[in-house]
Amino acid sequence: MTKTKIGMWLTAAAVWTAAAAFPAPPAETPTKIRLEEVLTIGGPDEETLFQWTGVAVDESGAIYVLDALDFSLKKFDAQGRLLKKTGRKGQGPGEFSMPRWLAVDKEYVFASDQPVAGLCVFDRDLNFRKTIRLSGLVDALESRPGGGVAVVVSNFQDPGRIVLLDRRGEVEGEVRYMTKSDGPLLDSVNIAAGTGDVFTLGFLFQDKVEKWDAAGLMSWTANLFGGKAVETKMIGGFALPQDTCVLDIAVDGRGRTFALGGKRAKNRGRDVFVLNPDGKVETMFVLPEPSHCLYIDDRNFLYVRADDGITLKKYRMVFE
């Protein structure tokens, strides 16, 4: 079983506006963060979202959502009205078999499909434009502030690679956050981009959050749960990690990192740790419901899951 197959298996078993301007959070250290719900998409009383996986928001507040149950990519306006839907089950252009990650820049929407070594590219009206081929499966995806995307490419022989693509899908550079993995899946990360092509990585199976720049230099590394190594269990001849640490990660407009705790956290999928731009844990808060995903748009609104994935919630974060 290759690392990528293990990753697919684990991922599968397990198997994601108010137009008013949001006041910038205060610069001082917040002691408490309170969530105010501003928008709900989907829910138990409507057939809008079925098991959403990826979310991305453009500068107008339009919300793009990937759904793993109806194999769709949907676009909602800032008030949560469905504008368009595309995609279906399959392996052809614009089709999905296990849609997962999503990113949007000023021109395109980039979507990953877990068994596919590449990205599906749509314009922002959800017309399929092209497929970008990559050398491995996509572990994580994030838009870059200047356009294009940063893609964590999964490859057992060659772990720890972030490929930087420009808007046309051409490779612009590469960041190495690991050159050798001590075991299967230990290079699995989520990624969040900050201003100036810096990336924060949250490790799924290691108690680590790290900040890197596009030149391949690490600014800091932080632990959220004491730094203890994750226990492993031999499955099929592989020592597979048993606990998840960071399920997802996001960065706000102030450069603060928000890390969603996994099994290691007291409240799995609900505890959110807030790190300052220097990597120090400032505070934390607890989501109302477990989420697999944490997304912050450029107005600092927070998007998370509810109702086991049939609901997307948008919150204003109030720093107190």
What does the binding site for another protein look like in residue numbers (CB under 8 A)?
9, 12-15, 42-47, 49-51, 67-72, 88-89, 97-98, 307-310
Give the nearest distance from C-beta 4 to another protein in angstroms: 14
Give the nearest distance from C-beta 118 to another protein in angstroms: 18
Distance in angstroms (rounded) separating the CA atoms of residues 220 and 210: 6
Task: Between 182 and 289, name the residue whose CB sits nearer to another protein.
Answer: 289
Contact, 181 vs 158, CB < 8 A?
Answer: no
Distance in angstroms (rounded) separating the CA atoms of residues 97 and 107: 24
Task: Between 37 and 46, name the residue whose CB sits nearer to another protein.
Answer: 46
Task: Between 7 and 159, name the residue whose CB sits nearer to another protein.
Answer: 7
Give the nearest distance from C-beta 1 to another protein in angstroms: 13
Distance in angstroms (rounded) separating the CA atoms of residues 151 and 142: 7
Task: Between 90 and 196, name the residue whose CB sits nearer to another protein.
Answer: 90
Give the nearest distance from C-beta 110 to another protein in angstroms: 21
Give the nearest distance from C-beta 66 to another protein in angstroms: 12
Give the nearest distance from C-beta 76 to another protein in angstroms: 16
Task: Between 49 and 193, name the residue whose CB sits nearer to another protein.
Answer: 49
Give the nearest distance from C-beta 87 to another protein in angstroms: 9
Give the nearest distance from C-beta 96 to another protein in angstroms: 9
Task: Between 32 and 88, name the residue whose CB sits nearer to another protein.
Answer: 88
Contact, 104 vs 57, CB < 8 A?
Answer: yes
Distance in angstroms (rounded) separating the CA atoms of residues 68 and 309: 10
Task: Between 5 and 32, name the residue whose CB sits nearer to another protein.
Answer: 5
Task: Between 49 and 109, name the residue whose CB sits nearer to another protein.
Answer: 49
